[in-house]
Amino acid sequence: MTYFLCLVLFCVGLYAIVRKRNIIKIIIGIVICEYAVNLFLVLFAYKINGRSPLYSPDQEITTMADPLPQALALTSIVIGLATTALLVGMAIRLYEKYGTFDITKINHLKG
């Protein structure tokens, strides 16, 4: 069920990227997609009744969440931050040049 909701979140993001005409909404779509993927990474690492992946020598650990995908999610959050910052910076410059956020009006390039 949670996996399905994750997929729905990803599709919401894709819909925003494909259908929306406002640049800011497209950027938000990309960010939503990123969060869906990060959520998916953390979700499949979780085990039912699992505990946090901390090693301690005095107890035997049987159910533990997989720590590797959490590290991957952290890395991908950092990459996502760089992407989003660059996109937003570019959107600001585009607004300065064209005076609009509407992608149908930003159309100097053809062919």
Partner 1 sequence: MKLIPLFVILPLAAAFLISLLGKQKRFFCDIASASITFILFVISLATIFNINSQILPMIYKVGGWLPPMGLPLVVDNLTAFMLLIVNFIAFIVSLYSINYMEKFTAKLKFYTLFLLMLGGMNGVLISGDIFNLYVFFELASIASYALVAYGNKAEELEAAFKYMAMGAVGSLFILLGIAFLYSNASTLNMADLSQVLSAQGTNKAVTFVGILFILGFGIKTAIVPFHAWLADAYPAAPAPISAMLAGVVTKSLGIYSIVRIFFNIFGVNPSFLNLLMFLGALSIIVGGLLALGQTDTKRMFAYSSISQVGYIILGLGIGTPLGILGALFHLFNHSMFKSLLFLNSGAIEYATGTRNLEKLGGLREKMPVTANTSLIASMAVSGIPPFNGFFSKLLIIFACIKSNHIGYGIWAIVGSVLTISYFMKFQKNAFFGPLPKELKDAKEVPFLMQASMIILSIVCLLGGMVMLPKISNYFTEPAKTVLVQGKDYSNLIFKVLNEK
Residues that bind partner 1 (CB under 8 A): 10, 14, 17, 23, 26, 30, 33-34, 37, 40-41, 44, 66, 68-69, 72, 75-76, 79, 82-83, 86-87, 90-91, 93-94, 97-98, 106-109, 111
Smallest gap from residue 64 Cβ to partner 1 (A): 14
Measured from the CB atom, the residue of 59 and 67 that comes closer to partner 1 is 67
Q: Which residues, including other chains, have CB under 8 Å from residue 98's CB and lie 6 or more apart?
A: 105, 106
Smallest gap from residue 99 Cβ to partner 1 (A): 10
DSSP string, 41-52: HHHHH--TT-B-
Q: Which residues, including other chains, have CB under 8 Å from residue 50's CB and lie 6 or more apart?
A: 63, 64, 65
Smallest gap from residue 94 Cβ to partner 1 (A): 5
Given CA atoms 22, 23, 24, 29 in this order, what sign does their dihedral have?
A: positive
